[in-house]
Every structure is written in structure tokens, then in C-alpha cells.
Structure 1
Amino acid sequence: MSSFKRDKKEEEDSGGSPFMNLDKTIVLQEARYFNETPVNPRKCSHILSKILFLLNQGEKLSTQEATDVFFATTKLFQSKDVMLRRMVYLCIKELSKLAQDVIIVTSSLTKDMTGKEDLYRAAAIRALCSITDSTMIQAIERYMKQAIVDKNPAVSSAALVSALHLSSTAPDLVRRWVNEAQEAINSDNAMVSYHALGILANTRRNDKLSIVKMVTRLAKSPLKSPYALCLLIRLAAQLVENDDSDAAQPYIEFIECCLRHKSEMVIYEAAHAIVNLRKTARDLAPAVSVLQLFCGSSKACLRLAGARTLARLTSKHPTAVAACAVDLENLISDPNRSVATLAVTTLLATGAESSVDRLMKQISSFVSEISDEFKIVVVKAIRRLCQKFPRKHQSLAAFLAGMLRDEGGLEYKAAIADAIITLVEENPEAKETGLAHLCEFIEDCEHTTLAVRILHLLGREGPKSRQPSRYIRFIYNRVILESGPVRAAAVSAMAQFGAQRPELLPNIRVLLARCEMDDEDEVRDRAIYYNAILDSGDQQLINDFIIDVPKSNPILLEKALRDHIATKPDEPFDIMTVPMEEEKKKEKEDVVEIEARKPKQMTIEEIYTQQLSRVPGIESLGPLFKTNIPIDLTEPETEYRVRLLKHVFVRHIVLQFECLNTLNDQILEKVSVRLDCPPEYEIKSMLFCQRLVYNQPGSVFVVIEFPCAYLDSLGTFGATLEFVVCDCDPNTGAPDPGEGYADTYPLEEFSIYCLDQIRARIMGDEWDSTWERAANVPEVSGNFVLPELDPATAAKSVCEVLGIPKSGIIDGAIKEIRGGGVFRGGAPYLVKVRIGPSSEGVRMQIAARSPREDVAQLLLAALE
């Protein structure tokens, strides 16, 4: 003990971690000490700690190195030292992922697992389950069942957690341990009960009826474990989410009953569930009362939980949170600045316009003391405030500009820039103020991505301002002072001014001519490109290549170019056949808190590109034009589930039938789809799904050629699923002997619509000029009487049929819809619809313009 104290003091005196600057080679050499006899347990534990540290720091060991260390570590099983043995188990778990022949220690671990030393048993179970596969686990299945119901909670919990990990690789095996897990739920130990419920919920996650029975039974006899009760509340909340009928009422009553539990953890989980489930402020009262009590708690964690959940509630039900205003104001001076930040941002969202200035002063007093993460929370609250009280834009923009000048990282600065950009785009009165603040910021901006984004905004909004010339100096300064990407963005911004403001065009030409001498290729090319277009004087050319430029999806554009070079390199490439990059929809933020960074959103075309590549001859169809949203061809509760995706090409459509077999005692083979097609369509090929096992999706692909006439492309298809059924063991999935029998399954009919073959574009402010420029293009028009009684409802229905965004509806006594896009052949089109009341109901006038008259006719036919 004295030596232990001395070493500890030496470590403290050294002033750093003993594992800093570890060298992998030296540590591997030290591991050879494990082969000596006898060994020093303490020295071995220290070496094992070094190995674990290197592995957890991301150090890569080769297979041979890991194998050598693994077998050297197994020699330490001879030691009787308890601490060393537990370190050995940890090392075996980590090295088993890298080393070879790890199965050799199975017998030693099994011996420890069934021994009398409880300290060994739990760790041995974890290590054994991490190194063995499903076939080996069957040999120790009896021991695992005994361990699950063991009296020692550490052993029982270790077995349950190991079973939970094994459920991803051997679900059928773990499903046989349900009875033991059911018994473990009633354990007096909180963690054992929690882990047992986790096993039961995981094994039944695909069986809704079993989950309903389990939750109903456990809700009637509340669990002792608060952890298990929290999980049960979450399961009940999921059932309520998925069921809007009165059958969900018992689960709601159970969650409300948990608000009166003695455990604070359970109370908060119930309140959190109610806040996220309820839609009316009246039903929220019990949960809000609990959260209000939490805000006055002496525990900082409860105050944070209460303030955070109330902040989440503000966007949907501000009136319900308004009752907690006094408690939240008391939290503004809370010593925990995270709690104070959430309290202030919640008050900002629920307070009146008159209280904004006072709250902003309180924020400024401590905003410098909080981290960037909570500063972002404040910025988001101010951003919503700008939308709620547009008359306060001057003071709010000034406050944001002050925060923009403070120190901070890229994410924090980007959040402020986003707030100011939103203010500029949504409030015309704040445009000049917001652009001025952003111009000042890019003078000292050290983040290239932010500078490029702001320059893009200046190019888009600056020409529409009252004094556009004032922004050119800030933009041209970037050409002189900044890096290549920023200079290129500045050139594009200047071109926007020259294209939209004729009085500035001579000066812009001079500036672009100077940029033609730049050292960077991208800057020179852009300057020459824009100068040539501006010098042409062709307004149509300027609009199409500078002002209103369609942007293709970069990932799909690259793939289309590669396919074009591989298949038809001598033919011209049509960029209009590539899907455009969709503008990001502004999602309404309903959480005023620190949020996890969301992964990058992929388009549906990108998601299914790899699956489509399996279809033989797919390259010959040309670039993918559009993938439509999947539609279900079966009911959700049927034994075979099928949904359809329509992948549209220029002259072909690929129908992808995604199939799912929900029967664990059957395997489907040679799965295909028999189609009843309209006579104008021709089936070219079909790719079968060779094998469809339980709960693993598979796809059938059918390639069909479109009719030559566009109007004939509207049609309805019948479909039947055909397959060979082979019975199998529901537990192991092993097929029974025999060849199986053929069977069919009817699917719902589906249609090919006009909407499936067009890609709508969001029309900007230049709609009128675009429509006038297309005056000489063929036009088809018609009058219709719609069955809807309300013009607003009729307008939404028309938008859904033609794929026009709802933002294309112009409100008024007579609704007007403006839209446009591209047909699958690359032909552009424009649509103007007027809808108004009449004596016969709702009358609609539609006019469609397109270089191809049959495309315009197809748009009208879609509404008939």
C-alpha cells in the first residue's frame, strides 16, 4: 500500500498522463513479459492498460501484432490476481476484433463463466459472447439461460447485455431466452430489470401485437426499477404515436399516472413523453405543472431538464408555457449559465414585444460567459424573434452584428449569419440593415465558406436594393484581398449586378476585365465567361446563364457524365435530363436546445443509385431523370409487404418492387412480378429476387419502355407477386427438405401519372418576364369545372397533381398558380392556372406553354 501511495504521488508530481506519447512498438515489446514465469500482476496490469489506451485512441494493430498480443495475454489466465484477471477479460474483448484464432480461449472463459468466483463470471460472460459466433453460442446456451436468472445481479446483468448485443447477429437464438428474461424483469435489482425489459422489447420489435400485450401487462403491475419504468414509458409513447384511435387511451393514462411516481427520473420521462405526444394545451397542464416544479428545484440537473423541455414546448404551445413565466424569470440569474440561457430563450419565444428589449439586455450580460453551443441556442431564439416581431429588426440585427464581431468558431458564426440572412430574405424593411452588417463582417471574415455564402447573398439581393452600387466596393475588395474560392464567388456576385442593373454594367465590365488577369484559373475563367455573356446583350442568354441558372444535382451529374462517356461519348450530353438540386425546405424549428448535428440529407435518387446499378443494361437507358416517392401496394399488416418505386429515364421507366417477407417459417425463392400493362407499354426485361428470407428486404426490377406518344404514357397497371414457397425452421431459418410449391399474391393496381414524368422547379421573382419571353412558344389552354367548393382547396389539389410547390399559389379572390419545370425528355414547360368561384362551383382556367406542344397537352390531360 505504501508503494502504491508513493507511485501515485510521483504521478501527481510529474504533471501529466503516464500514457502520453506512448509508442506502439515499445508497448508490444513490453507485452512479451507476459510469457515469463512468474509474472508481476501489477506490472502486467500496467502493460495491459497501455494496450487498451492505444486501442481506444485509434491506434491500428496489424492482424499479426494483435494475434501475438492476444496469445501473450492468454498466458495470464494462470494468475490468481483478481484485478489482473479483469484486465485480461477487457483486453480479450478488444483484441478479439483484430486477432485470429481467438476461439481458442473459449474453454477458459467457459470455465470462469461457470465457476464460483462472481468477480470472474460477469466479465467472462461479456468476453465470451464477444468472441464467439452464433454456432458456438449454442454450446453454452444452457449456461447463458442460467446466468440470466442468476441471483448475483452483476452476472445477470452481464448475461442480459450480452444477449442484447447478440440479438443483432443471432436473433433467433436470443428469442429462445425470452422466458428467462421475463423472469429477470421481476428482479429487485434496478439494472437487471431494465436490461431484461430491453431484451423483451428488442426481440419483439417487429411484432406489434406482442409489444402491445407486453406493455399492457406491465402497465397494470408497475415495475420496481425506475430505469425499466422509463423504458416502458417510451414503449407506451411509441404505441400512442402509431395509434390515433381510442385504443391508445390506456397508455396515455399510464403515462399520466407516472407523473405521480416517487422517482424524479420517471416523473421527468413521463412529462417529456406527454410534451412530445399531446396536441392540445389543455392536456399539457399536468406535465407543465411538473416541469414548473422542476424549475424551482435545488438540483441543477432538474432545473436544466425543466427549462429545456419547456423550451421545446414553446414553438407548438407557447400559451401553455406562458404560465411558467415567473419561474423562468427566476432562472435568468441562475449560477448555471446553461439553465439561464434556456430560460431567457424560452421567455423570448413566449414574451410580448414590449419585453424584448429588457430580455436582450439580460442576455448581453452573460452571453460572453457561455460556450459556443449555448450561444447558438441564443442566436436561434433571436432568429425566431425576428420572424415574430419584424418591427424590432433594427435592435435585433444590431445585437446579432455585435455577436458576429465577438470571438467564436465556424458553427457559431454560421448560425449568426443564417439569422441575418433569414432576416434579409423575409423582412424587406431589414434588407439594407442586414446586408450592411454582412458587408462589414466579410471585411474580417476568416472562414472561406461563410464569405462565399455571404457573397452569394449579396449577388442575389444586392441588385434589388435601393442603392446597389454601395455593395460593389465590398465585393471587389474580396477580389483584391482574399483566397481563390472567395475571389471566384466575388466575380459571380459582380456579374449579378451587371446582369440586373444596366446603369452599373460599364463599371462591372471594367472590374471583370481586371479579374481576367487573375492568377487563379477559376477566377479568370469566370470573369471571361461572364464578360462574354454580358457583352452579347442578349437578355435571354443573360437570364439563363447568370440570373436564373438551374443547378443540377452534383452527385447524379457526375454519374450521368461517366455513363455518357462510357456508352455514347460521340453524342452531345443533355444536362436537362439530370435531376436538379432541390432547394432546402425551411423546416420549422420546434426545439430550442442544443441539437445533435444531423447527417447530410441524401436525395431519393442518390439513395437508390447503387441498387439500380444491379439491373443489367441500365447504362444504356441514359441518365436517371427522376425517382418518385415509394407507394405501398399492400396493407401494412399483411404477411408480404410490397412497395413500388418508379425510376424514370428519358424513354424508359424502371419499376422497383421492394418486397418484405414477415413470416419467419417461410423462405420465398424466385420472386417475380407479373404485370398487366396497357397496350402502349412494352416490357423489356425483369430482374428476379432469387431469395427472400424473413425480415430482410429484396427487390424485383422491371424495365418498361414508354409509348412514343406522350399522351399514351398515362395508364394503369395490374400486378401480381409470384414466388416459390419453401418452409423453414422459424428458430434457425434452416429450410426444410423439399422443393417447395409455387404461389401468388395479388397486389394493388398502380398508375403512371404526368407527375411521375415531370420535375417541377420553384419559380422565382422573374416569373412574369419568363412567361412573356415564352410568348412565341406553343400554348395549350382549357377551362374546367372542379368538384371542390373552396378555391383554396382546389388550388392545393391542382398543385399536387402537377407537382407545383404550394408556394406557387398567389392568394386573392381568384387564386393564381404559377409553375414550371422540365419533362423527362428535357423539354421545359410553364403553367399558369387561375381558380375562382362561379355559379357552377369552382372554375379553373389553365394555360401551358412548352416548345413541345404534346408536353403542354399532357399537362392538361393530367387534370381531366
Structure 2
Amino acid sequence: QTGNEASVDRLMKQIPSFMSEISVEFKIIVIDAVRSLCLKFPSKQTLMLNFLSSEVRDNDGYEYKRAIIEAIFDIMYHIPESKEYALSHLCEIIEDCEFTKLAVRILHLLGSEGPKSATPSKFIRHIYNRVILENATVRAAAVSALARFAVHNVELRERIKVLLTRCLDDSEDEVRDRSAMFLRILENEQLCRQYIANETVFTWASLERNLVIYLNDPAQHTAPFDISATPIVTQAEEAAARSPRTAAADITSPTLQAPSASASGAGASSSAGRAAPSGPEAHTAAMERIPELAVLGNIFKSSNPVQLTESETEYGVTCIKHVFPQHVVFQFNCKNTLNDMVLENVTVEMAIVTSDDEDTELLRPERVIPIQSLVHDIPGVVYVVYGRPNGISPTATFSTTMKFIAKECDPSTGEAEEEGVEDEYPLEDIDLVRADYMLPTFVADFTRVWDEVGSAYEVVETYSLTNVASIKAAVSNTIECLGMSPAESTNAVKDQAATHGLLLAGTYAGGVPVVARCRFAFSPASGVTMELSVRSDSAAVSEKVANAIS
């Protein structure tokens, strides 16, 4: 926290002198500090990686070595130019790694990142050594890593197939089975793309819920189940979504009992007054319990929460935008921080302030689902539903005002007075933007998808991005503005880069696949310039996405 770039070299010379004198717990703290220091001063990454690599050779147990390897992984992820050097260090580490879990993790990373490096062939020897020298679990992981190199580096494929053939004589059936499977896959390019290069999975909770809805609706049985409506994410994103288990997530598992459209209105109000849901599946489950929202269909896209009040104000409000097939639902998560006040019949009034989109005139407010009672420190939810007929996707800015009846109450008992006063509380404006209609989609082979979509409806626009100071900032802003998923790790930008190419993929509302290529150039005189090329199956969608940059 107190170091600066000029003192890093001196600091790194001092750290090894006392590492042998402190406990493992403090060593882990030092390793985390070194990682943070490296992320703060990327130019010193070589020095830091040398230190981390030397420390991992100390015999200080699993937790210490895991912390070091995690630090190297973080440096690789956040500092793209360190990848080659870090991978070389990881190859040395697995040569003398006594912990199976760590060896498997490193081999998995080598299989994922090694084929994309400038000289992938130099990693093959280190990986194959694990097949010869390690236990069965590590050998199986090494076989999988070798297969990834064979798929992504065609020039190495025949040589790697020879190594995999040798693995057919392994004493462990798992190693033999993997080798036989990968040898079969490597004979067919389609199988390579489908089973190895493709790192996507369906969001399982969404898939299960869509199947439940399909099975419980006889009217849908006239057509096959449409799996394309289920979002696709990377395996890393799916794992990240599963890891933070919350109470809300635990109660949202779907059942074969479809949401009832005949539930009472009182039930809807009660649901709206419950704690704000967390996560896409939790949002869906919460809205399925409200009859007025259950009939809207499946959520296509949910935005991240947007703060509409200051953190220290008496009322806290955030907004999440949900896009449905024919509607947009604004979910206002409200919290009352006053212990001597109860808010009743809480609603949010919205009005369109500005819009350059002619479709905005067709947006119509349909209903507001209020919070019956908002007591101190127990959050509630207000839903505002807008219809978007024929699947239109307008952009607009809305003014928002929270309205309610305020009643004083006894903080000790929570009992409110009979009489209250009508009051309102102004909130920040909400922007409905193009990214709200775009679902990020992971693609393993961008070039193939780009060619498959074709140039029939390609739109090319050029922008001068005067509001950003670097290509790295321009890439981040473009991804956020379009709401698409970066392909082939093109979101990683080197510091002080003068040119860069960004590949993006997504699915627009209505199930329209969209791919985009962005070419960035930087000059001190003119700043950042971007050429954006968008392809889709719809001329209107291509035009809208290409003009979404602001």
C-alpha cells in the first residue's frame, strides 16, 4: 500500500532475507502483498514472478504453495504480457510438485493458455513428462492438456497423436480411456470443435426452468423444445455463478408444478414486499410467484443493479432491468433506513425524458406492482412493467420518483400510526440502453461463426473515441456499451498498446445472433479511433448495434 515503483527493486531484495524466519501464515500474507504490488506496477512482473517461482520450491506445505500459484495465475490474468514468462515458470514448478491438486490445476491452465502462446511446442515436453513420472490423476490431466494443444495447433497434431498413442498402454484405465477418446476426436474437425475447442455450457438453472415451463404448458407441445432460448456461458462463468451460494439461491430450484396464473392479488403484493432477489435464477423464481409477472414468459436478459440513491440517504433504491419477449420489467429494490417510519403503498412513477429512438413511442406502461409495507431495514421490491409490442427494442432515458404514504412508528414496537401523509422521493434517471437487449454469447471459433453469419447485413461504422485516454479503456467501454462477450481473450490489452483487435459475440433480443469486430488505433494527436464491423441475420439489428456506441 505504501510502496512506489522506484522502491520495488529494493523491497524485493529485502523480502527473501526474512521469509525463512516467519510463520507460514505470515508468508501467505507476504505473497498476497507481492501479488498486489505486481498488479499495481505491471512493469515489475518479471521480478515478481522470479521471486514467486523461487519461493514455491520451499517445503512449506500445500496452503503456502497454493497461495503462490494463485498469485501467478492472477498476474497472468491481469497482465497479459506476463503470460509467456509465467507459463515457463509453471512448467518448472510442476517438474517438482508433490501436491496432486496443484499439479492438475497447472496442467489445466497450460492446456488452456499454452496453445495460444507464441511458441506452444516448448510446453509439450514438460506436460508429457508428467505422463511418465506422475500418479494416475496427474497423468490423466496431462493427457487432456496434450489434446488441447493438438486441437489448437494443427502443426503439432501428428506428433501429439504419437504421444497419446503411447498412453494407450498406461496401467490406469482413466488414462487409457482419455487417450483413446482424444485420438478418436482428433480424427474429425467437427468433433474437435464440439468436444475440446468448445468451452461453453448451458446455464443449468435456466435450462431446467425452461424445461419445466415447457412440460407444464400443453400449448407448447405442438413444437419441439427450443434450447436456443437458454443462455450459453463459459465454464468459468458457470463456476463463478455457482460458487457464491446464498440463501436466495437455495430456495429457487424449479419444480414440476408450473406457476399458477390464478393466484390471488394479495399473493402478488406479498411477493413484491419480500427481500430483493439476488442472481438471475433468483429473479426468475421471485417473479414466477407473482401472477402478473409469471405470464410474461422467460427472462431474456437481466441487467446489473444500478444505484438510484446515495448510500447515506434515508432510502436506498437500486434498479434491475429485465427484458422479456414482449415486455421490459423494471425491478426497484427498496430499503427504508429510518427506524421511526413505515412506508406503505410504495410505488415508482416513471416517465420517458429523452430518446432518439422512434420505437420509444410504442413503449406503454402496463402495470405497477407496489410494496404494501416497507419497514425499517427489511428490503422490498416494486415492479414496473412496460409493454414492447412486436418485440421492439427502443432506448430511452426515464425519470423516476418513489411515491408512498409515510407513517410514523414506535421504533421499539414497530407499531405505526393510523394516519399517514403522502410523500415522494426523487430518484436518479434510468437509461434503457442497447446492451440491455444483448445477451453475451461465448463462441469457441470466432472466425467460423463470423463466416457463417455472412456479410449480407454487415454494417461498418468508424468512431473517434474522445472520452477515453487509452485503447485499454476504449475496449472496456465498448464491451460494456454493446453488452457482448469478448471472444478468444481479445479483451486483454497490453499497456500502452498502439493498435488492438477486439472480437465480440452476442444474441440480440428475439434470438438474433450478432458478431462484431473492432479495430482500435491510438495516436497522441487524435486519441483513440475505432472501426466497428457488425454482422447479424437482421439488417435492423446490425444497424442498431453498430450505432450503439456513445
Among 265, 275, 279, which residue is 1:604 paired with?
279
One-letter amino acid matched to 2:510 = G
Give the drift of 1:825.
Answer: 1.2
Residues 244-283 of structure 1 mapped to structure 2, 5 A cutoff: 278=2, 280=4
Structure 1 partner of 2:187? 498
Q: 2:426 aligns with which of 722, 746, 762?
A: 746
Deviations 1:529-554 (A, max 9, x none): xxxx77xxxxxxx8678854753211
1:424 aligns with 114
Contact 1:439–1:474 (8 Å) recurs in 2 = no
* 2:168–2:180 CA contact under 8 A, matched in 1: no
Cα distance in 2 for partners of 1:694, 1:459 equals: 58
Say whether 1:767 aligns with 2:414.
no
Residues 582, 395 of structure 1: CA spacing in aligned structure 2 closer, same or farther, 3 A cutoff? closer
Q: Secondary structure at the match of 1:315?
A: helix
What is the rounded CA distance, in whole Å, between the counterparts of 1:544 and 1:419 in structure 2?
Answer: 20
Letter in 2 for 1:632: Q
Give the 3-state SS of the residue equivalent to 1:314 in structure 2.
Answer: helix
Give, in whole Å, the separation in 2 of the partners of 1:485 and 1:650: 47
- CA shift, 1:394, in A, is 6.5
Give the CA deviation at 1:455.
5.6
Whole-angstrom CA distance in 2 between matches of 1:378 and 1:296: 15
How much has 1:628 moved relative to structure 2?
1.0
1:313 match: 33
Q: CA 1:808–1:351 in structure 2 vs 1: closer, same or farther (change >3 Å)?
A: closer
The residue matched to 1:468 in structure 2 has which SS? helix
| TM norm structure 1 | 0.49
Give the structure 1 partner of residue 268 of structure 2: none
Shift of 1:585: 7.2
Given candidates 374, 397, 404, the residue that maps to 2:91 is: 397
Query: Which of 334, 356, 378 is the aligned partner of 1:696?
Result: 378
Q: Shift of the alpha carbon at 1:582?
A: 3.8
Deviations 1:242-284 (A, max 9, x none): xxxxxxxxxxxxxxxxxxxxxxxxxxxxxxxxx5xx5757999
- Provide closer, same or farther for how the CA distance between residues 415 and 393 of structure 1 changes in structure 2, counting only shifts above 3 A: closer
- Kept in 2, the 8 Å contact 1:662–1:694? The answer is yes
Map of 1:376 onto structure 2: 66
User: CA–CA distance in 2 between the matches of 1:319 and 1:564?
Assistant: 48
Q: In the TM superposition, what is the alpha-carbon distance from 1:818 to its structure 2 partner? A: 2.1
- Residue of structure 2 in register with 1:863 after alignment: 549
Counterpart of 2:227 (choices 570, 575, 581) is: 575
Instruction: Give, in whole Å, the separation in 2 of the partners of 1:605 and 1:668.
Output: 28
Amino-acid identity (%): 22
Partner of 1:556: 206
Counterpart in 1 of 2:254?
none
Q: Which moved more, 1:420-429 or 1:698-707?
A: 420-429
- The yes-or-no answer on 1:654 pairing with 2:329 is yes
* Conserved 8 A contact 2:168-2:179: yes
Kindly indicate which of the two structures has a greater share of residues assigned to helix.
1
Q: How far apart are the structure 1 equivalents of 2:325 and 2:169?
A: 42
Tell me how far 1:744 sits from its aligned partner: 1.7
Aligned-residue offset at 1:854:
1.5
1:850 corresponds in structure 2 to: 536
> 1:464 — aligned with what?
152
1:778 partnered with 2:457: yes
Contact 2:287/2:294 (8 A) holds in 1: no
The 3 A distance-change label for structure 1 pair 570 and 621 is: farther
Distance 2:185 2:449 in 1: 17
The separation in 2 between residues aligned to 1:797 and 1:752, in whole angstroms, is 17
In structure 2, what is the Cα distance between the partners aligned to 1:862 and 1:632?
22
* Aligned AA (1:436): Y
Please show how residues 630-641 of structure 1 align to structure 2 within 5 Å: 630-641=305-316
Residue 851 to residue 726, structure 1, CA distance change in 2 (3 Å)? same
Q: CA deviation at 1:292?
A: 10
Inter-CA distance 616–479: structure 2 relative to 1 (3 Å threshold): farther
Q: Deviations over 1:542-590 (max 9, x none)?
A: 8678854753211211111111222223333332222222453799xxx
Q: 1:565 aligns with which of 185, 206, 215?
A: 215
Residues 202 and 230 in structure 2, CA contact (< 8 A), matched pair in contact too? yes
Say if 1:294 and 1:303, in contact at 8 Å, map to a contact too: no
Aligned partner of residue 310 in structure 2, secondary structure: coil
Q: AA paired with 1:553?
A: T
**Aligned residues of 1:664 and 1:694 also touching (Cα < 8 A):** yes
Structure-1 separation of matches of 2:449 and 2:201: 17
**Relative to structure 1, is the Cα distance of residues 445 and 613 closer, same or farther in structure 2, using a 3 angstrom cutoff?**
farther
RMSD across aligned C-alpha pairs, in angstroms? 4.7
Asked if the contact 2:112–2:145 (Cα under 8 Å) also holds between the matched residues in 1, the reply is: no
Q: Does the 8 Å CA contact 2:303/2:436 hold for their aligned counterparts?
A: yes
Aligned with 2:136 (options 429, 442, 445):
445
Aligned residue pairs: how many? Answer: 490
> Based on CA coordinates, which of the two structures has the bigger radius of gyration?
1
Q: CA deviation at 1:857?
A: 1.5
Q: Secondary structure at the match of 1:734?
A: coil
SS of equivalent to 1:857: helix
**More contact order relative to length (CA 8 Å, sep ≥ 6):** 2
The whole-number CA distance in structure 1 between the counterparts of 2:195 and 2:152 is 18
Matches within 5 A, 1:339-350: 350=48
Distance 1:771 1:438, change over 3 A: farther
Out of 426, 437, 440, the position equivalent to 1:757 is 437
Question: Against the structure 1 CA distance between its residues 296 and 548, is the aligned structure 2 distance closer, same or farther, given a 3 Å change threshold?
Answer: closer
Whichever residue aligns with residue 428 of structure 2, its letter is: E
Helix, strand or coil at the partner of 1:656: strand
Determine which of 661, 670, 680 is the counterpart of 2:362: 680
Secondary structure of 2:123's partner?
helix
Aligned partner of 1:832 in structure 2 is: 517
- Tell me what 1:17 maps to: none
Give 1 or 2: higher strand fraction: 2
- For structure 2, the 5+ residue unaligned runs are 41-45, 250-277, 353-359
Please give the alpha-carbon distance, in whole angstroms, between the structure 2 residues aligned to 1:607 and 1:617. 17
> Structure 1 residues 351 and 649 mapped into 2: Cα distance closer, same or farther (>3 Å)?
closer
Counterparts of 2:39 and 2:386, CA distance in 1: 55
Q: Does the residue aligned with 2:477 lie in a helix, a strand or coil? A: helix
- Are the equivalent residues in 2 in contact too, given 1:420–1:434 (CA < 8 A)? no
Q: What code does the residue aligned with 2:215 have?
A: I
Does the C-alpha gap of structure 1 residues 621 and 438 become closer, same or farther in structure 2, counting only changes over 3 Å? farther
1:817 to 502, 519, 525: 502
Task: Tell me the TM-score normalized by structure 2.
Answer: 0.73
**Contact 1:763/1:808 (CA < 8 Å) preserved in 2?**
no
Please give the alpha-carbon distance, in whole angstroms, between the structure 1 residues aligned to 2:201 and 2:291: 30
Partner of 1:193: none
SS in 2 for 1:778: coil
SS in 1 for 2:136: coil
Asked if the contact 2:28/2:67 (under 8 Å) is kept, the reply is no
C-alpha distance 616-418 of structure 1, shift in aligned 2 (>3 A): same
2:515 touches 2:536 (CA, 8 Å); kept in 1?
yes
Partner of 2:320: 645
For the 8 Å contact 2:343–2:404, the answer to whether it is kept is yes
- Whether the 8 Å contact between 1:439 and 1:471 is mirrored in structure 2 is no
